[in-house]
Amino acid sequence: MMMRKTSLLLLGAAAGVAVTLIATSPRIVLDGARAQAAAADTYRQLSLFGDVFERVRADYVEKPDDSKLIESAINGMLAGLDPHSSYMDSKSFRDMQVQTRGEFGGLGIEVTMEDGLIKVVAPIDETPAAKAGIMANDIITHLDDEPVQGLTLNQAVEKMRGPENSKIKLKIMRKGQEKPLEVSITRARIQVRSVRSRLEGDDVGFIRITQFNEQTTEGLKKAITDLAAQAGDKLKGYIIDLRNNPGGLLDQAISVSDGFLEKGEIVSTRGRNAEETQRFNARSGDLTKTKPVIVLINGGSASASEIVAGALQDHRRATVIGTRSFGKGSVQTIIPLGSGNGALRLTTARYFTPSGRSIQAKGISPDIEVLQDVPEELKARTDTRGEASLRGHLKAEGDEQTGSQSYIPPDPKDDKALHTALDLIRGIQKNSAYPPNPKTAVPN
């Protein structure tokens, strides 16, 4: 038996992985004669591929790059399976690892692109950028004396990242300053904030989870501790905002769900064969001390977000408010292909909520649907098409659902889903779905 180090991935609009070990062994699925016939047919097809490859190399109008031909062939094979299986070259694989670790060597600034230049959205507290005096709305024009004009945002971000303790020089234009500022900054280890929190009024804890990376569960624990300390005895409940959260790590979706549950199944994954089924259960200990919880979702809530929403909904631990989620009910395994060869991202299982329902190409339906008021000019762009609209998606069990509103008003005072949640927790509004009754939890 061979042990191969692999990773489990849940992917919505963005990718994420969870490290696990999967034992692989040969599967005997055909009798001898049929196996030989199937093998012969497979070799004929591979021979055909070789013939086409050689003909392209010899006769194409321009000399092709052999490695690009092979990579394109691999991508074509995987793209023909489903929208979430793909090949990652070594750079894409490294980028994905950085994203899911949630930490990297860098400066600690959130940036955006404006008129071909890099604009600082905000420095992150306690990072080299904040300590160096970088301010929101600063325009970065040069990195180590190289102009950023002409670079993509990703290329500029890559240049700003680097090994801890290495230095980089920034040239900055700041409103009110005639001359550009030159700042030398030493990079440090930066942790991506996947969890942000605030107290609404003085009695409701609001926690926004933007992705599921290696920092998420610790971020959630800190947020709950901080909010409980700020509010004290006044704390009436928590709102967990998973809107437009594309997913990420499977193990983080499980541990975040576990933070609100005392017992019971959180999620199960089922591969091609029955023996590959895995079940993940909650351990005792509710971080919120059984305070009421409301989960916000919308059409951009995918994958790991749907696992959390589905688990808390099935156990009647939380009331789910918003619009139907994306509907990505599959798990990908990341298989490294050796030094410099990148990795294979392969769909290997479907996942099921505690009650045994698959959300594939359906999504999680909220207990209370709340539609936002969308500005006229944005109406054509605020619906997410959903998993069911993706070409080649895994089919649902039963009817498929596609398309759901994914707009979040930029000003919280216009956020109807948030205000519905606040009114329910404060007792201003009444609804039969809040508080949920654990005795009506859907049995597995």
Q: Where are the beta strands (DSSP E) in 166-236?
A: 167-173, 181-186, 188-191, 195-200, 204-209
Query: Which long-range CB contacts under 8 A does 154-160 form with residues at least 24 apart?
Result: 156/111, 156/113, 156/118, 157/111, 160/106, 160/107, 160/109, 160/111
Quote the CA–CA distance of 366 and 323 in Å, as a whole number.
Answer: 6
Closest by CA position to 353, among listed 307, 284, 395: 307
User: Which residues, 6 or more positions from 85, have their beta carbon under 8 angstroms from its beta carbon?
Assistant: 78, 79, 332, 345, 346, 347
**Strand, coil or helix: 62:** coil
Quick one: which H or E segment has residue 252?
helix 250-258
Quote the CA–CA distance of 244 and 405 in Å, as a whole number.
Answer: 10
Contact 350, 360 (CB under 8 A): yes
Number of Cβ within 10 Å of residue 177's Cβ equals 10
Strand order across the 368-369 sheet: 195-200, 204-209, 237-241, 293-297, 319-322, 368-369
What the block records as the tokens of 281 is 């259960």
What the block records as the tokens of 277 is 């089924």
| Distance of alpha carbon 46 from the chain centroid | 36
Q: CA torsion, points 41, 45, 48, 49, in degrees to nearest 10?
A: -160
- Helices (H) then strands (E): counts for the chain: 9, 23
Quick one: which H or E segment has residue 345?
strand 343-352
Contact 168, 142 (CB under 8 A): no
Annotated catalytic residues are: 303, 314, 328
